[in-house]
């Protein structure tokens, strides 16, 4: 099955395209909200899709811990369980290697975690990550990687993590092929390999070459948006832009600020995910206007403001006429509807940016 078709180019590297998955086509560039535990927080699938979102992301680590892939599988798999009918991407759990305090230790075999509730020690290996993702019923899977931060303290481990990520990739590919060998090309989920290498150009280029020469369907760019400056992130995106294989989709992990989404698309990225639009929205922060200005809806100046968040936005919240004064009031009294309406708006804001690059 052809995985990706490039449709049009805009500028040097921005492109629009069609990503083919086993549950339908996706127009790119595309933004994917994080349904970390199987739900996009406070937003129903119907409202998520009303924003133009085509893919949602679910988190392998969290669903493995609770309720467990066996339960999700018994309840019909991710689509039946979450009621998202479109493509679902699962991350590998690699990000939690970096972010969670429940981490015990990293060895060549895999990563030991302490269960946040039971305290039980669990080992996630590259093979286990793929097994969990396939048991969940993922349509787009990601190879297990070793991510490090980018502070001075972490830089010494970048090369070690870089080498381990590529050894783990080979193990992921073997396990993925083993578990999907009985599937037809139209039934098979996709596998993305993850490019690491921190802020080091040489390591990034080498890692990209390794991923692009591997038997995977897509290229994921990991290890960004983990504490580096915006300029440092953009420098890596600029550096990688001319080096991508045109036939494969490119997924930038964990990026969702409008400035970074535009930059990523202009550097040839096709897919992005982040908790930012919905997390910010639940904290009353929304983007508005062509320059994505941040508005803080709890600000006193919105007390009697009868205008919607963005007059030109065609999201549910703006077209239904929910005023900033109404939203401010609901945030102030702790009404969850406010977070829902703001989340719908922020998702639509990012999808509209993606759509600008699809049309011409």
| Residue 295 binds to Zn ion (criterion: CB under 5 A) | no
Among 345, 350, 352, 353, the residue binding Zn ion under the rule CB under 5 A is 345
Q: Minimum distance from CB of 278 to Zn ion (Å)?
A: 14
Q: Minimum distance from CB of 10 to Zn ion (Å)?
A: 24
| Residue 352 binds to Zn ion (criterion: CB under 5 A) | no
User: What six digits make up the tokens of 68?
Assistant: 């467990």
* Inter-residue contact 48 to 56 (CB < 8 Å): yes
Rounded to the nearest 5 percent, the helix, strand and coil shares of the chain are 40, 20, 40
Q: Which stretch binds Zn ion (CB under 5 A): 4-12, 201-209, 232-240, 305-313?
A: 305-313
User: Is 91 noted as a catalytic residue in this protein?
Assistant: yes
User: Is 139 noted as a catalytic residue in this protein?
Assistant: no
Among 313, 327, 342, 354, the residue binding Zn ion under the rule CB under 5 A is 313
| Residue 315 binds to Zn ion (criterion: CB under 5 A) | yes
Q: Which stretch binds Zn ion (CB under 5 A): 110-118, 148-156, 198-206, 343-351?
A: 343-351
35: closest CA among 109, 116, 90, 77?
Answer: 90
| Residue 318 binds to Zn ion (criterion: CB under 5 A) | yes
- Residue closer to Zn ion by CB (options 249, 277) is 277
Q: Which stretch binds Zn ion (CB under 5 A): 96-104, 105-113, 228-236, 340-348?
A: 340-348
Residue of 34, 91, 260, 310 with catalytic role: 91
Q: Minimum distance from CB of 340 to Zn ion (Å)?
A: 12
What is the secondary structure of 232-251 as a DSSP string? Answer: HHHHHHHHHGGGS-TTS-EE
- Residue closer to Zn ion by CB (options 194, 315) is 315
Q: Minimum distance from CB of 352 to Zn ion (Å)?
A: 9
Q: Which residues contact 273 (CB under 8 A, 6 or more apart)?
A: 31, 32, 33, 34, 57, 89, 91, 251, 253, 254, 255, 256
Residue of 145, 270, 273, 310 with catalytic role: 273
Q: How far apart are CA 343 and CA 285, in angstroms?
A: 9
Q: How far is CA 109 from the centre of its chain?
A: 26
- Measure CA of the first residue to CA of the last residue in the chain; give whole Å: 27
Q: How far apart are CA 110 and CA 129, in angstroms?
A: 10
Q: How far apart are CA 265 and CA 29, in angstroms?
A: 7
Q: How far apart are CA 50 and CA 317, in angstroms?
A: 11
Q: Which stretch binds Zn ion (CB under 5 A): 53-61, 141-149, 170-178, 341-349?
A: 341-349
| Residue 341 binds to Zn ion (criterion: CB under 5 A) | no
Q: Minimum distance from CB of 323 to Zn ion (Å)?
A: 12
- Residue closer to Zn ion by CB (options 91, 310) is 310
288: closest CA among 275, 272, 302, 300?
Answer: 302
- Residue closer to Zn ion by CB (options 207, 346) is 346
User: What six digits make up the tokens of 218?
Assistant: 């897509």
Residue numbers of the site for Zn ion (CB under 5 A)?
313, 315, 318, 345
Q: Catalytic residue positions?
A: 91, 273
């Amino acid at each position: 099955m052809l995985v990706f078709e490039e449709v049009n180019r805009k500028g040097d590297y921005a492109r629009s395209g069609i990503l083919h998955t086993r549950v339908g086509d996706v127009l790119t560039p595309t933004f994917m909200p994080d349904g970390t535990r199987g739900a996009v927080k406070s937003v129903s699938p119907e409202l998520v899709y009303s924003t133009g979102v085509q893919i949602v992301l679910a988190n392998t680590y969290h669903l493995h811990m609770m309720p467990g892939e066996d339960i999700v599988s018994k309840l019909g798999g991710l689509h039946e369980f979450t009621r998202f009918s479109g493509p679902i991407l699962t991350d590998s759990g690699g990000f939690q290697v970096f972010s969670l305090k429940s981490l015990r230790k990293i060895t060549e075999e895999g990563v030991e975690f302490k269960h946040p509730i039971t305290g039980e020690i669990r080992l996630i290996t590259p093979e286990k990550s793929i097994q969990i993702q396939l048991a969940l019923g993922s349509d787009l899977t990601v190879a297990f990687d070793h991510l490090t931060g980018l502070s001075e303290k972490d830089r010494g481990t970048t090369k070690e993590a870089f080498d381990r990520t590529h050894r783990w990739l080979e193990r992921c590919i073997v396990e993925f092929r083993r578990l999907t060998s009985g599937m037809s090309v139209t039934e098979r989920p996709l596998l993305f390999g993850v490019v690491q290498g921190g802020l080091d150009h040489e390591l990034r280029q080498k890692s990209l070459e390794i991923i692009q020469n591997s038997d995977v369907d897509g290229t994921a760019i990991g290890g960004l948006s983990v504490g580096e400056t915006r300029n440092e992130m953009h420098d890596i995106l600029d550096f990688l832009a001319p080096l991508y294989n045109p036939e494969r989709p490119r997924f930038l992990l964990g990026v969702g600020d409008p400035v970074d989404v535009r930059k990523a698309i202009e550097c040839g990225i096709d897919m992005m995910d982040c908790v930012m639009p919905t997390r910010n929205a639940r904290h009353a922060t929304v983007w508005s206007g062509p320059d994505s200005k941040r508005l803080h809806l709890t600000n006193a100046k919105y007390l009697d403001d009868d205008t919607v968040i963005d007059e030109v936005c065609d999201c549910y919240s703006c077209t239904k006429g929910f005023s900033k004064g109404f939203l401010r009031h609901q945030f102030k009294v702790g009404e969850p509807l406010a977070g829902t309406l703001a989340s719908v708006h922020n998702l639509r804001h990012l999808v509209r940016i993606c759509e600008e690059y699809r049309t011409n």
